[in-house]
């Protein structure tokens, strides 16, 4: 039985820690709000009605892929493809391939950025390993125009950031939904995390700013891991109804 992602892979290390996964999706939630294809996420109404539930649904699929054998990972990817095809049929259109590429690019970029913020810098081989995992996901989904190397991805990532992002009415509404579902304090923390992980282009479009009061708190948080009290701190700033789901992110589903 072959694994989709090897057991000693840095990708498994990244996706096995709840704080890293939450940082990844904090960054992605910022960029999703700016993506020119965000209207597709609004079509079903699931994202604006319950963005946190959508987050954990997406996390579940991603982790099924990362921690499964190849056959199970392919089955999960096929389910994702089938869901998207159903949305396309319902709307009578096709999600553009560049929008699919954008999502893969986000998963690659924020996996790297989040791990480096919370842990340590990654070398080029480790970054290439992250790229390769999500490249294989894209290939299985039959997404066209994918970069084939980490170097090509870096170039395309910059192009996508310049060409595919815009601040729109969807952006404003989605941030209102984040605030509504998180509450004022957690919403402030979300934007602080986004400030730490998003590219400068995303920060500029969202006007997140540069006042990062979370940085010294983050150093304390890293220390708390050594003292084994990080779960107490994490649970103090997360919605109570999702604590079980968040704790489950620390476990290997495979």
Are 195 and 215 contacting, i.e. CB atoms less than 8 angstroms apart?
Answer: no
Q: What is the pLDDT of residue 226?
A: 62
Calpha distance 4→69 (Å, rounded): 5
Question: What is the per-residue burial (b if ≥16 Cβ within 10 Å, else e) of 96-131?
Answer: eebbbbbbbbbbbbbbbbbbebbeeebeeebbebbb
Residues forming beta bridges with residue 165, ordered by sequence position: 35
Q: Does a structural domain hold residue 99?
A: yes
The token duo for 216 is 């010294």
The token duo for 215 is 């940085």
The token duo for 72 is 């199970």
Q: Does a structural domain hold residue 69?
A: yes
Q: Does a structural domain hold residue 121?
A: yes
- Taking residues 129-138, report their average pLDDT: 97
Residues 6+ apart with CB under 8 A from 88: 94, 95
Q: Does a structural domain hold residue 175?
A: yes
Length of the chain: 254
Q: Look up the domain containing 185 and give its range.
A: 10-248
Question: Could you report the per-residue pLDDT of 4-56, keeping only the tens digit for each?
Answer: 999 999 999 999 888 888 889 889 999 999 999 888 777 776 677 778 777 77
Question: Could you report the per-residue pLDDT of 116-125, keeping only the tens digit for each?
Answer: 998 899 999 9
Predicted TM-score (pTM) of the model is: 0.89
- Taking residues 69-84, report their average pLDDT: 94
Give the closest residue to 91 by CA, choosing from 56, 40, 55. 40
Residue indicated by tokens 């991805």: 153
Calpha distance 220→167 (Å, rounded): 34
Q: What is the pLDDT of residue 51?
A: 80
Are 149 and 171 contacting, i.e. CB atoms less than 8 angstroms apart?
Answer: no
Give the count of domains, the chain: 1
Q: 3-state SS string over 207-249?
A: CCCCCCCHHHHHHHHHHHHHCCCHHHHHHHCCCHHHHHHHHHC
162 pLDDT above the threshold of 90: yes
Q: Does a structural domain hold residue 3?
A: no
- Taking residues 235-252, report their average pLDDT: 65
235 pLDDT above the threshold of 90: no
Question: Could you report the per-residue pLDDT of 165-192, keeping only the tens digit for each?
Answer: 999 999 999 999 999 988 888 888 889 9
Q: Does a structural domain hold residue 15?
A: yes
Q: Does a structural domain hold residue 234?
A: yes
DSSP 101-160: HHHHHHHHHHHHHHHHHHT-PPPHHHHHHHHHHHHHHHHHTT-SS--SSHHHHHHHHHHH
* Phi, then psi, of 69 in degrees rounded to 5: -75, 170
Question: Could you report the per-residue pLDDT of 199-208, keeping only the tens digit for each?
Answer: 999 999 999 9
Q: What is the pLDDT of residue 228?
A: 59
């Amino acid at each position: 039985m072959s694994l989709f992602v090897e057991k000693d892979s840095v990708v498994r290390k990244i996706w096995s820690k709840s704080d890293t996964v939450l940082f990844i999706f904090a960054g992605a939630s910022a960029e999703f709000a700016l993506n020119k294809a965000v209207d597709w996420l609004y079509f079903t109404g699931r994202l604006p009605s319950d963005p946190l539930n959508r987050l954990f649904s997406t996390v579940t699929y991603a982790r099924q892929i990362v921690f499964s054998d190849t056959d199970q990972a392919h089955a999960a990817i096929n389910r994702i493809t089938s869901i998207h095809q159903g949305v396309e049929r319902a709307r009578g259109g096709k999600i553009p391939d560049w929008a699919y590429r954008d999502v893969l690019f986000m998963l690659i970029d924020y996996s790297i950025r989040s791990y480096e913020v919370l842990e340590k810098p990654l070398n080029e081989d480790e970054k290439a390993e992250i790229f390769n995992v999500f490249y294989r996901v894209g290939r299985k989904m039959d997404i066209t125009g994918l970069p084939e190397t980490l170097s090509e991805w870096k170039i395309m990532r910059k192009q996508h950031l310049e060409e595919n992002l815009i601040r729109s009415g969807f952006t404003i509404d989605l941030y209102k939904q984040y605030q509504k579902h998180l509450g004022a304090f957690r919403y402030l923390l979300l934007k602080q995390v986004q400030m730490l992980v998003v590219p400068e282009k995303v920060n500029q479009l969202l006007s997140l700013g540069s006042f990062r009061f979370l940085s010294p708190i983050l150093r304390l948080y890293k220390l708390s891991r050594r003292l084994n009290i990080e779960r107490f701190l994490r649970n103090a700033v997360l919605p109570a109804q999702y604590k079980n789901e968040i704790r489950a992110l620390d476990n290997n589903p495979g």
